[in-house]
């Protein structure tokens, strides 16, 4: 008796264990969740980005809020006059404190309005109360600043023996501070007007180059009567040039932006020293 012996198919091999243990899978998932997405926000702990965002908030308020522009203009005039009138440290501290209070109140008012407008689209009496109270806080801060300005400016402006020009010539340090303040503020205003870059990085003009060349021009003018004035001016110019070169080499600014900053800083310093020096 013949019979065909059927071969049994080979049994499939047992499934191999997964190449990645469960512990490794969890570790990989954790690294994936902690990994920042490309194009996302920078790491929250970055100090540079924190300052950049803060300055962007200041620039936004200056660019969009008319009251903030008025406050800043009055603050610059008050600070410059305080330095030129040779205020004491206590008087300058009171003036700076009053100015800061007004600016901070205006910025909180703007932030509150933006946050409320992003959530509430219709009229609500409580929203009106919140906005009115925030605006009232700005008014109180402004009234406080006016009162402090009256107390600190009155004695200096009514003194018949006060000579503003002579005081400035005797204290060029104050004039240098004025030059640097005006230069930095003008650089920020120009960046806000052009909408290029951030207050601390990029944009037209370069604020670092403007401040560096303003300092070079101020040092050159002040050191003119000295014996080695040419050497002092050359060293200051080389330092300003190194600052400008570092901005270009780092790819933060272009050569045109750095040159614009140098022209701005030098022009502001020469103009102020010609008027008051």
Coil, strand or helix at 110 = helix
DSSP state of 223: T
Q: How far is CA 65 from the centre of its chain?
A: 17
Torsion, Cα 117 123 127 132, to 10 degrees, reads 100
Cβ distance 129 to 137 under 8 Å?
A: no
Which region, left, alpha or beta, applies to residue 127 given φ > 0 means left and ψ of -120 to 50 means alpha? alpha
DSSP letters, 43-68, are: PTT-HHHHHHHHHHHHHHHHHH-HHH
Coil, strand or helix at 8 = coil
Torsion 65-70-73-78 (CA) sign: negative
Cβ distance 199 to 207 under 8 Å?
A: yes
Concerning whether 257 is annotated as a catalytic residue, the answer is: no
CB atoms within 10 A of CB 90: 9
Q: How far is CA 129 from CA 39, 112, 113, in A?
A: 40, 12, 11
Nearest alpha-carbon partner for 99 in 119, 120, 81 = 81
Which one from 11, 16, 106, 249 is the annotated catalytic residue?
106
Question: Phi and psi at residue 95, in whole multiples of 5°?
Answer: -65, -45
Give me the helices (H) in 158-226, please: 164-170, 172-194, 207-222
The set of catalytic residues is 106
């Amino acid at each position: 008796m013949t019979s065909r012996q059927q071969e049994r198919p080979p049994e499939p091999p047992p499934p191999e264990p997964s190449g990645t243990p469960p512990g490794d899978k969890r570790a990989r998932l954790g690294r994936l969740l902690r990994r920042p997405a490309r194009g996302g926000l920078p790491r929250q702990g970055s100090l540079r980005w924190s300052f950049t965002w803060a300055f962007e908030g200041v620039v936004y308020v200056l660019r969009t809020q008319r009251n903030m522009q008025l406050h800043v203009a009055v603050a610059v005039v008050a600070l410059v006059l305080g330095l030129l009138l040779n205020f004491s440290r206590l008087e300058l501290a009171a003036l700076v404190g009053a100015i800061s209070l007004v600016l901070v109140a205006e910025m909180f008012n703007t932030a509150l309005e933006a946050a409320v407008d992003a959530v509430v689209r219709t009229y609500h009496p409580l929203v009106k109360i919140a906005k009115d109270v925030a605006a009232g806080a700005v008014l109180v801060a402004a009234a406080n600043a006016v009162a402090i300005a009256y107390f600190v400016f009155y004695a200096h402006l009514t003194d018949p023996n006060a000579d503003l020009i002579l005081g400035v010539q005797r204290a060029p340090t104050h004039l240098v501070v004025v030059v640097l303040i005006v230069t930095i503020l003008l650089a920020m205003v120009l960046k806000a007007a052009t909408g290029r870059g951030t207050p601390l990085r990029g944009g037209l003009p370069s604020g670092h180059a403007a401040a560096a060349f303003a300092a070079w021009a101020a040092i050159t003018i002040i050191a003119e009567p000295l014996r080695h004035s040419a050497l002092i001016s050359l060293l200051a110019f080389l330092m300003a040039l190194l600052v400008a070169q570092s901005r270009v080499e780092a790819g933060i600014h272009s050569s045109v932006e750095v040159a614009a900053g140098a022209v701005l800083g030098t022009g502001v310093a020469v103009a102020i020293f010609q008027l008051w020096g």
